Amino acid sequence: MADNTPAERVPTVVVDGVDIVYRVNGTGAGRGSATAALNRILRRKKSEKASGVRRVHAVKNVSFVAYRGEAIGLIGTNGSGKSTLLKAVAGLLPVENGRIHTDGQPSLLGVNAALMNDLTGERNVYLGGLAMGMSRAQIKERYQDIVDFSGINDKGDFITLPMRTYSSGMSARLRFSIAAAKDHDVLLVDEALATGDRSFQKRSEERIRELRKHAGTVFLVSHSNKSIRDTCDRVLWLERGELRMDGPTEEVLKEYEKFTGGPDKAAKPKAAPKAAPKPAAGADSDAKAAPGTKVSA
């Protein structure tokens, strides 16, 4: 860690014994049957399990403190609760128990969900920017940078075409460019580095480093141990929703690589389905559709 003198360290995110539970309707015994549904209505207070509501305990009693100037990597196998924890830190997902205290408003890097495929790239730049809380003037000022950075117009005038005509790589690039156009206090990045082709990945890594300079604290969720090594000085390892390790990057990554049985998981294709599919799969299916190329929403 860069800074070890306790007197000077200013906490920016304090996560205090946090549990996060998803409730999923219509699963388990008697999936979707009428009697199960009736049971659910009649006995909702008594037993969630008997009535077909499954509780998925995604994050269990996690505590940590993040300090200003830190870049923290979140690692763990698929479905271990990394993205869920990140969303809770951003204040987007309510916690079941515990509290999360933050300095300012942490923001998740990603605008997927606000964009509309039927609109042109140009209108989506404005829509995404406004959704992130930028003013029209700010967007106008950065518009050209966003388009240039995305490289959408390298192969012709694509920015004036609807986003549904873009290839998945192209739209992922545009999404990242829009999301990265804003400065953040506490920045949360979810696997954004796996975006686009190699040259764009390099550019986006650079941009994240740049954002890091302006941001107080950065969290990075990634399956690429290399990008974690490159960007983070501290790593939290989540496994099955529990905080398994918290420490300097090298130490934790060594244990993690031992656990996953390989020096670098970056080479492993990420196409494998998540061990625990998120209950929200229906809602953000658009975000999950292309696991390899997403900027998580």
Partner 1 sequence: MSQVLDTPPPTAAAAAPAEHDLAALAARHGLSVSGARPSLPTYVRQLWARRHFIGAFSTAKLTAQYSQAKLGQVWQVMTPLLNAAVYYFIFGMLMNTSHGVEDFVPFLVTGVFVWTFTQSSIMAGTRAISGNLGLVRALHFPRAALPVSFCLQQLQQLMFSMAALVVILLAFGVPPGPSWLLAVPALVLQFVFNAGVALVMARVGSKIPDMAQLMPFLLRTWMYASGVMFSIHHMTGPDSDLPSWVGPLLQVNPAVVYIDLMRFALIDSFGGDMLPSHVWAMALGWALVAGIGGFIYFWKAEETYGRG
Footprint of partner 1 on 147-186 (CB under 8 A): 162
| Residue among 70, 72, 85, 107 that touches partner 1 (CB under 8 A) | 107
Pair of tokens at residue 64: 């940590």
Closest CB to partner 1 among residues 230, 255: 255
| Residue among 50, 78, 113, 226 that touches partner 1 (CB under 8 A) | 113
Minimum distance of partner 1 from residue 129's CB (angstroms): 9
Contact region with partner 1 (CB under 8 A), list: 90-98, 196-204, 209-217, 222-230: 90-98
With contact defined as beta carbons under 8 Å apart, do 265 and 256 qualify? no
Minimum distance of partner 1 from residue 164's CB (angstroms): 8
The gap from C-alpha 119 to its chain's centroid, in whole angstroms, comes to 25
Minimum distance of partner 1 from residue 150's CB (angstroms): 19
Q: Is 36 in the site for partner 1 (CB under 8 A)?
A: no
| Residue among 38, 42, 92, 267 that touches partner 1 (CB under 8 A) | 92
Nearest to 287 by CA among 211, 191, 212: 191
Alpha-carbon span 56 to 80, nearest angstrom = 12
Residues in the chain: 297
Distances (CA, A) of 159 to 91, 113, 210, 286: 32, 19, 25, 21
The gap from C-alpha 159 to its chain's centroid, in whole angstroms, comes to 26
Minimum distance of partner 1 from residue 174's CB (angstroms): 15
Q: How many CA atoms lie within 13 A of 105 on its CB side?
A: 7
| Residue among 50, 91, 226, 257 that touches partner 1 (CB under 8 A) | 91
Closest CB to partner 1 among residues 151, 228: 228
Site for partner 1 in 55-84 (CB under 8 A): 56-57, 63-65, 79
| Residue among 16, 19, 48, 205 that touches partner 1 (CB under 8 A) | 16
Site for partner 1 in 207-246 (CB under 8 A): 239-240, 242-246
With contact defined as beta carbons under 8 Å apart, do 20 and 58 qualify? yes
Nearest to 276 by CA among 79, 97, 33, 16: 79
* Nearest-5° Cα angle at 13, 10 to 17: 125
Minimum distance of partner 1 from residue 105's CB (angstroms): 6
| Residue among 42, 286, 290, 292 that touches partner 1 (CB under 8 A) | 286
With contact defined as beta carbons under 8 Å apart, do 163 and 124 qualify? yes
| Residue among 71, 74, 88, 220 that touches partner 1 (CB under 8 A) | 88
